[in-house]
Amino acid sequence: MLECAVVATPDERWGERPKAFVTLKDDGAATEREIIDFCRDHIAHYKCPVAVEFGPLPKTSTGKVQKYVLREREWAGHDMRVN
């Protein structure tokens, strides 16, 4: 894995749940299941992502990940947003 970001996404039961956005190294390989299982083995289950999306992360001109862009994409079309 090269880099990742985790943001809250809408969930009918809990209000929100974590989702991971992952950029793999050029020679890297991982599946959604492998990442979720790794997290379940190392952190509390409620903190583990329920989904993983692979691809490049949106960044500022200085290289900082724009998590608000990921959040807005996930919450688009939802009336209620839990903060």
- What are the CA-CA distances from residue 5 to residues 12, 13, 52 (Å)? 22, 23, 10
pLDDT computed for residue 12 by the predictor: 86
Whether pTM > 0.75 for this model: the answer is yes
Number of H-type helices and E-type strands within the chain: 2, 3
Contact criterion met (CB below 8 Å) for 21 and 70: yes
Domain spans in the chain, listed from the N-terminal domain onward = 3-75
Q: Hunting for tokens 């890297």 — which residue is that? A: 28
Q: Which CATH superfamily is domain 3-75 in?
A: ANL, C-terminal domain (3.30.300.30)
* pLDDT by 10s per residue, the chain, length 83: 799 999 999 998 888 999 999 999 999 899 999 999 999 999 999 999 999 999 999 999 999 999 999 999 999 988 765 55
